[in-house]
Amino acid sequence: MDFQTESKKYQGRDWLVVAVSGELDLSAADQFKDKLKAALAKSRTRYLMLDFSRVSFIDSSGLGVLMGRYRELALTGGRIIIRHANDQVYRLLTASGLDRLIEVELPIGGHFAKEEK
């Protein structure tokens, strides 16, 4: 699993942007969780943008990590946005109901791209 971070100004706030790659299953879940927690602690922001353009697969182990971060960030009014999810990832985010808690950009012509200009 590759994990890269950067900071970005978006909608007047500081966001932690994380680009992750690979398959977010049981074998990656712990590492993904630890790296996300560490990066969030270091960045001191409540706003997390996940770039999933290189995530090829997710199952309930990966979704659990996202749910955990949502629970933590929601306590202090934070937000999570997921961008560039492939069809498989997008379908699981909606099937699990996580798309009602986390903002998931639509796979085609996402609305966040427009706002950002």
Q: Is 6 helix (H, G, I), strand (E, B) or coil?
A: strand
Task: Compute the least distance from the CB of residue 47 to another protein, in Å.
Answer: 21
Tally Cβ neighbours within 10 Å of residue 14.
Answer: 13
How, if at all, do strands 13-24 and 2-10 pair?
antiparallel
Nearest-10 crossing angle of helices 26-43, 60-74: 20
Tally Cβ neighbours within 10 Å of residue 36.
Answer: 22
Near another protein in 20-49, by CB under 8 A: 23, 25-27, 29, 33
- The mark string for 52-81 relative to another protein (x by CB under 8 A, - otherwise) is -----x-xxx-xxx-xx-------------
Task: Compute the least distance from the CB of residue 60 to another protein, in Å.
Answer: 4
Residues at the contact surface with another protein, assessed by CB under 8 A: 23, 25-27, 29, 33, 57, 59-61, 63-65, 67-68, 87-88, 91-92, 95-97
